[in-house]
Structures are given as C-alpha cells and as structure tokens.
C-alpha cells in the first residue's frame, strides 16, 4: 500500500510536467513521460512480478524438501 500511494502521488505530480505545452516544454515533456513510464513499469514489477516469482520459488523449495 505505501508503494502504491507513493507512486500515485509522484505520477500525479509529474503529470503536469508531461502535459505541458509552451515554449521550451519539449525537454520537460520527455522528462515527464520518461519518469511516468519508469514509475509505472517499476510499480508493476514491484506489485505483480516479485510476489509471483516469490510464490514460484517458495513452492519449488517446499516440493524439494518433501522429496528429500
């Protein structure tokens, strides 16, 4: 839950940077888009992929102990 809240507030704070229109905003837009993309991807990995991999490895270790 803290990871999700921190990511959400950072994404919402970076959104105006990515959506800005105006003189000189080309550089800031790309920075905002890269930040949003990186945060989204890392959040998905943290909240989905890591628990799934942990569950898979835990199951394999338990099966290995039962065999021995």
Question: Is the Cα torsion angle 43, 45, 48, 53 positive or negative in sign?
Answer: negative
Backbone phi, psi, residue 20, to 5°: -65, 145
CA distance 30 to 45: 22
32 and 18 in contact (C-beta within 8 Å)?
yes
Full-model pTM: 0.74
Identify the pLDDT of residue 60.
94
Identify the pLDDT of residue 1.
78
Identify the pLDDT of residue 16.
92
pLDDT tens series, the chain, 68 aa = 788 899 999 999 999 999 999 888 888 999 999 999 999 999 999 999 999 999 999 999 999 888 87
């Amino acid at each position: 839950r803290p990871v999700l809240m921190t990511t959400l507030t950072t994404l919402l704070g970076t959104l105006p940077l990515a959506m800005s229109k105006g003189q000189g905003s080309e550089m800031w837009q790309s920075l905002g888009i890269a930040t949003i993309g990186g945060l989204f991807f890392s959040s998905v990995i943290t909240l989905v992929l890591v628990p799934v991999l942990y569950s898979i490895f835990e199951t394999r270790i338990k099966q290995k102990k039962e065999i021995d």
